[in-house]
Amino acid sequence: MGRWSRSSVVGADGVELAVHAQGPPEAPVVLLVHGFPDDHHVWDLVAADLATDHRVIAHDVRGAGASGVPTLLDGYRMMALIEDIDAVATSVMASVAGDGRVHLVGHDWGSIQSWAAALHPQFGERFASYTSISAPPLQHVGPWRTAKLAAGPPGWWAMANQALRSSYIPAFHTRLAARVWRRWVAPRWRGQLEGLGAITDDDWPSANVADDGARGLELYRANIGVLHPRALPPIAPPTDVP
């Protein structure tokens, strides 16, 4: 695996973000945004492959890894996450080859916030491309539910199935969630992933998984209600799919 160099960028509300980089400094830039309950190390193997001909940037999302921790729940709102991505992208744009834009890649919660950044009329032009892994934009939930309700029994079954799969979200809103995560879930997290064949690398998950997960619960509390996403600004531009 390649070795990350570390710097810092000030994100929204003055939160300091740990920014990690590898690869040729003047090569096209790929910005990787991790999800829950991870930090930038989830990208280690991906970055090692990309860094042969790309400048790879991965920041620890606020509250995770070596980045600062917001003091209020509002510090985890979607707009703050978008502004963090913009701050990191802006910090590297001066050295980007070509038109100065970066390639954005997001996984899980990193995908959710990257969708919001890529579709935002103020920040979307920063990105030459966007690759989403594992999660849609939160704005998609309402139209999806409407479509399933209108589809009759097959759609209702799909909604019930998704509700079952998302049953952990109400649990994440409880007061005991962080304690349960630290005491019971985090110590077993690696074993669960190995059992699924999801990981083989000795360096991941990181030693921070207990803290990263406990703090990452705030992403759900700040942006997703018990039954539906919290209000988000409407998206003006369309999504173009080649």
What's the pLDDT score for residue 166? 86
Determine the Cα–Cα distance for residues 75 and 153; give it in Å rounded to an integer: 40
Asked whether residue 149 is assigned to any structural domain, the reply reads no
Asked whether residue 237 is assigned to any structural domain, the reply reads no
Asked whether residue 11 is assigned to any structural domain, the reply reads yes
Q: In which region does residue 63 sit, left (phi positive, over 0), alpha (psi from -120 to 50) or beta (all else)?
A: left
pLDDT in tens, 20-52: 999 998 899 999 999 999 999 999 999 999 999
User: Residue 153, CB half-sphere, CA atoms under 13 Å: how many?
Assistant: 0
CATH of the domain at 9: 3.40.50.1820
Asked whether residue 101 is assigned to any structural domain, the reply reads yes
Asked whether residue 25 is assigned to any structural domain, the reply reads yes
**230 pLDDT higher than 70:** no
Asked whether residue 176 is assigned to any structural domain, the reply reads yes
pTM of the model: 0.89
Q: In which region does residue 2 sit, left (phi positive, over 0), alpha (psi from -120 to 50) or beta (all else)?
A: beta
Q: Of 166, 79, 71, 63, which is closest to residue 116 (Cα–Cα)? A: 79
**76 pLDDT higher than 70:** yes
Give the domain range for residue 213: 5-135+166-223
Rounded to the nearest integer, the mean pLDDT of the chain is 88
Instruction: Give the residue with greater pLDDT, 163 vs 204.
Output: 163
Asked whether residue 81 is assigned to any structural domain, the reply reads yes
Whether residue 220 contacts residue 169, with contact meaning beta carbons closer than 8 Å, is answered with yes
Asked whether residue 45 is assigned to any structural domain, the reply reads yes
pLDDT in tens, 94-103: 766 667 799 9
Count structural domains, the chain: 1
DSSP secondary structure letters along 30-65 = EEEE--TT--GGGGHHHHHHHTTTSEEEEEPPTTST
